Each structure stands twice: as C-alpha cells, then as structure tokens.
C-alpha cells in the first residue's frame, strides 16, 4: 500500500514556523477512526476492553482520546501508573503487566485498584509479602515456550523470552491463588510481536481458550478474563497490507464460540493491550535536511537523530520516508539519511532510493506513533523533541514541549556549577 503522509507540506511548514523541527506529529482523526474500529471489532464480547500499552506512546493527551472509547491503560512501571492516575484512569481500567517488579510498584498498583498480571509463579509470594494478602482479582502471564509460528514465516520465539510462566507453573499458580482466596482470575500471553497478519490473535486465542478450558477442568478455576495482549502489528514497509481488525475480531469470535461457549465459559471477557496498532501509523517524525555529504556514499544529514526515533538504530527497523513536496518525483537518488549522534548506526535509512533531496527539504518519517518518541534518550546531549497533535479540522496543539538545556541539567538542580551557562 502506498504510504501517504496524513499532513500536507504546507501544513507541516505552517507548524514548523511555530514549533521548529524536529517534532513528532499525531493524527487525531486517524487515531479516532482506528479506535472506533477496534471497539467495533470486539463489540460482540460484553466485557471487552482494550488497555492501551502506555509505554508505546506515553502522552496523556493521546491516551485521553482513547479513554473516550472506554479504553484503559496497560502499565508496567510506577511512573506509567502515575500517568494513568493523573488522567483519571484507575481501578480496573488499569492492567499492570509488569515484569521483574519491585515490591513498591505492586503496592502502588494495588492502591490504584489495578488488575495485577503476575509474570511469574514466585511473584505470588512477593505480592503476598508486599500487600499482606493477595488481591481478590489476579491474572497470570503464560509462556508456553517453543516457537510460536503464526503463518508463512511469521513467528516469534517465546522459548527465548524472559516473560511468563510455563504450562505447569501456570496451572500450579491458579491452584495456589485459589487456595489463598483469590476470587477472580485472568490469563495473559504475548507470544509474537508486530505480526502483520490477521492470523495471530485467532491462533493465540485458540491456544489460550483451550488452556482456559483445561484450567477449569483440572484446577476448578474459571477465568473471568483472557488478555490477548499486544502484538497486532502495522506494515512499516509499503509492500505489506495492514491488518484488518474487524476481520481479526470476527475470527476471535468464531474461536470463542467454538471453544469457550460449549465449555460453559461464554461470559469470559476479552482484553487486549495493543500499543503499536493503536498509535503507530498515526504518528510521524518531521525533520529537515540540514546537511549533505558526498564521500564513499551519499549522505543527507537531518536535524533529528536516533534519540527522536531509536528503532532503526536499535533493530535495523525500516521506517518509510516521504520527501515533502516531492511525492511524485522519481526515486532516482540513493542516500543514507543520518542524524548527528557520534554513532554510525544513527541512520534513519541506509541505501534508500529517494527523490533528490535539497537542504531545507522536510522529511516525513512514517509510523513513529508508537515506540517512537517514547524510546527517546539524551545521548550526546541531544534533547527530546516536541509532540504536536493535528486535529481533524486542521488546527494543531502542542501536547508536549521540546526539551531545553534546562531539562538536560535538571537532575543536577541540587548543584550550582551549570547555572551560569543557562543564563542566555
Ligand atoms: C509492549 C507491550 C504491549 C504492547 O505491544 P505492541 O506491540 O505495541 O502492541 C502489550 N503488553 C505488554 C505486556 C507489553 O510489554
């Protein structure tokens, strides 16, 4: 599918006058339409809830949009819990799917009334120590091990993943929890990441639903919710078709009717914890070409770098790039698009065929709405960018200002040594 920016060159230049590049921009109309579809896809399930994975895009203004659709927050740290609380997402609207969790974080999650999703059987004891007794409602994260093959080469490797309990541990965990007075049970599994296929959720659902039936038969624990977690992906490359969430919802419904309903489990709520799918395509990193360089390769230097978007440097991930205003020009130049970090992997694209780029051109880096800004850091003294929300009527709002040197020095605020350099 041809990748088309959600904002025009004129609009981006207008925004850049007020908020200099680089910045992340988000498309409110796109977020809303997708949230609507998500809700509709699982409307057959009475208890359905999407818990947005806060780590993907921890901006309260964006999460508040999702909140309007009845979605909650999936958190994995204290500050993510605090962010959720700050925008009024509390109680059972929070799923706390953490791992390697400090006791204090269990305590804080419990104070907010969050549903705690235990990553390991040994954490039952940790949780008991932390809270005095187990909460009435508790979930377990399952990791069946091995390789989870979805279809034609799309697979992931749960056997190598640090998350979740083995099958035996899972059954044992429910036994122990029941004995200790837990009344409401859930199960969670995240077995493949960024799956661009409609097969993943239905396959995962079958595995989890069949396991849930066994748990009922063998342990006498009837689950009240099953959490399909994250992993429904987005097509970063133009050759892939996006997932059809309505089709995915229908297929999960079929498996539900086939496996759970006959087992007397037709009231189990389905939860999801999507991050990438909810936000990824509705964000872009906008950056300007500021330098060129002709050595052993052709380089274009931009004013963003890996601190604004780490995925290419970290995973070699592909992000499509549109040179604004040159959408229809032939891609007859081959460039490395680089940032300014003193790291050779600070490249948004390598050997990418693009239209000829002039200094001053705006580059639109697609699909940065999830795991984009949020993975930012401050290496080389680089500062994180602003985030802008583009509204459906074409107006725009600043939803996070860019960092300033003052922010960079903020953790030295109990010292004086730097204060003179901030004066100008
Ligand atoms: C990261 C994460 C998610 C979201 O994953 P996406 O690939 O963004 O959908 C959901 N649940 C847990 C526990 C996670 O760690």
Confirm or reject: Cβ of 163 under 6 Å from ligand 1: no
Confirm or reject: Cβ of 195 under 6 Å from ligand 1: no
Over residues 182-208, the pLDDT tens digits come to 999 999 999 999 999 999 999 999 999
- What mean pLDDT is predicted for residues 224-238? 98
The predicted model scores a pTM of: 0.97
- By the 10 Å C-beta count (0-12 exposed, 13-18 middle, 19+ buried), 342 is classed as exposed
Over residues 331-358, the pLDDT tens digits come to 999 999 999 999 999 999 999 999 999 9
Say if residue 177's pLDDT is above 80.
yes
Peptide bond into 22 cis (omega under 30): yes
Over residues 139-160, the pLDDT tens digits come to 999 999 999 988 877 778 999 9
DSSP 145-196: -S-EEEETTEEE-GGG-S-SB-HHHHHHHHHHHHHTT--EEEEE----SSB-
Confirm or reject: Cβ of 54 under 6 Å from ligand 1: no
Hey, what are 364's tokens? 């639109």
Percent of the chain scoring above 70 in pLDDT: 100
Confirm or reject: Cβ of 231 under 6 Å from ligand 1: yes
Report the pLDDT value the prediction gives residue 424, as an integer from 0 to 100.
Answer: 62
Say if residue 135's pLDDT is above 80.
yes
List, as own/partner pairs, every contact residues 261-265 make where C-beta atoms lie below 8 angstroms and the sequence separation is at least 24, other chains included.
Answer: 263/212, 263/213, 263/216, 264/216, 265/209, 265/212, 265/213, 265/216, 265/222, 265/223
Confirm or reject: Cβ of 56 under 6 Å from ligand 1: yes
- DSSP annotation of 215: H
Q: Which range, of 139-153, 217-231, 281-295, 394-408, averages the lowest pLDDT? A: 139-153
Confirm or reject: Cβ of 312 under 6 Å from ligand 1: no
Report the pLDDT value the prediction gives residue 144, as an integer from 0 to 100.
Answer: 95
CA-wise closest residue to 232 among 272, 189, 284, 283: 272
- What mean pLDDT is predicted for residues 231-239? 97
Q: Do the bridges between strand 184-188 and strand 225-227 make them parallel or antiparallel, or are there none, so unpaired? A: parallel
Q: How confident is the model at residue 229 (pLDDT cuts 50, 70, 90)?
A: very high
Q: Three-class SS of residue 349?
A: strand
DSSP 68-120: TTT-EEEE-SHHHHHHHHHTT--GGGEEE--SS--HHHHHHHHHTTPEEEES-
Q: What is the residue-averaged pLDDT of the chain?
A: 97
Separation of alpha carbons 348 and 352, rounded Å: 10
User: Are 312 and 348 a contacting pair, CB within 8 Å?
Assistant: yes
Q: What share of the chain is helix, strand, coil (3-state, %, to 5)?
A: 35, 25, 40
Q: Do the bridges between strand 298-302 and strand 333-338 make them parallel or antiparallel, or are there none, so unpaired? A: parallel
User: Are 124 and 134 a contacting pair, CB within 8 Å?
Assistant: yes
Choose between 133 and 153: higher pLDDT.
133
158 Cα: distance to centroid of ligand 1 (angstroms): 14
Q: Whose CA is nearest to atom 13 of ligand 1?
A: 97
Over residues 7-49, the pLDDT tens digits come to 999 999 999 999 999 999 999 999 999 999 999 999 999 999 9
Report the pLDDT value the prediction gives residue 423, as an integer from 0 to 100.
Answer: 78
Hey, what are 402's tokens? 């860019």
91 Cα: distance to centroid of ligand 1 (angstroms): 20
Hey, what are 46's tokens? 């009475």
161 Cα: distance to centroid of ligand 1 (angstroms): 13
């Amino acid at each position: 599918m041809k990748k088309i920016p959600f904002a025009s060159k004129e609009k981006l230049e207008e925004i850049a006058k007020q908020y200099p590049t680089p910045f992340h921009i988000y498309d409110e109309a796109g977020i809303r339409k997708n949230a609507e579809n998500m809700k509709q896809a699982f409307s057959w399930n009475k208890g359905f809830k999407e818990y947005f994975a806060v780590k993907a895009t921890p901006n309260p203004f964006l999460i508040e949009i999702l909140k309007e659709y009845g979605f909650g927050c999936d958190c994995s740290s204290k500050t993510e819990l605090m962010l959720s609380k700050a925008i009024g997402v509390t109680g059972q609207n929070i799923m706390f799917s953490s791992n390697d969790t400090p006791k204090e974080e269990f305590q804080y999650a419990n104070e907010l009334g969050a549903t705690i999703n235990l990553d390991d059987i040994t954490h039952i004891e940790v949780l008991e120590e932390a809270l005095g007794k187990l909460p009435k409602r508790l979930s377990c994260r399952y990791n069946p091990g091995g390789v989870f093959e979805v279809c034609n080469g799309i697979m992931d490797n749960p056997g190598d993943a640090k998350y979740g309990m083995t099958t035996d541990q899972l059954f044992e965990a429910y036994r122990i929890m029941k004995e200790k007075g837990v009344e409401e049970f859930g199960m969670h599994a995240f077995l493949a990441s960024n799956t661009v296929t409609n097969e993943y959720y239905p396959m995962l659902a079958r595995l989890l639903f069949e396991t849930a039936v066994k748990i009922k038969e063998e342990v006498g624990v009837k689950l009240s919710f099953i959490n399909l977690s994250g992993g429904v992906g987005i097509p970063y490359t133009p050759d892939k078709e996006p997932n059809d969430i309505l089709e995915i919802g229908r297929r999960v419904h079929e498996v539900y009717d086939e496996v759970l309903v006959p087992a007397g489990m037709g009231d189990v709520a389905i939860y999801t914890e999507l991050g990438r799918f909810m936000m990824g395509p509705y964000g872009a990193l906008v950056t300007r070409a500021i330098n060129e360089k002709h050595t052993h390769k052709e380089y274009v230097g931009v004013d963003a770098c890996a601190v604004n978007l780490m995925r290419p440097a970290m995973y070699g991930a592909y992000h499509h790039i549109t040179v604004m205003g040159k959408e229809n020009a032939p891609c007859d130049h081959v460039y490395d698009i680089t940032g300014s970090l003193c790291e050779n992997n600070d490249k948004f694209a390598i050997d990418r065929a693009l239209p000829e780029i002039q200094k001053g051109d705006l580059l639109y880096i697609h699909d940065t709405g999830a795991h984009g800004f949020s993975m930012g850091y401050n290496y080389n003294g680089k500062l994180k960018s602003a985030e802008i929300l583009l509204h459906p009527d074409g107006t725009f709002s600043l939803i996070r200002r860019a960092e300033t040197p003052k922010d960079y020095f903020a953790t030295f605020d109990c010292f004086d040594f730097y204060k003179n350099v901030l004066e100008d």
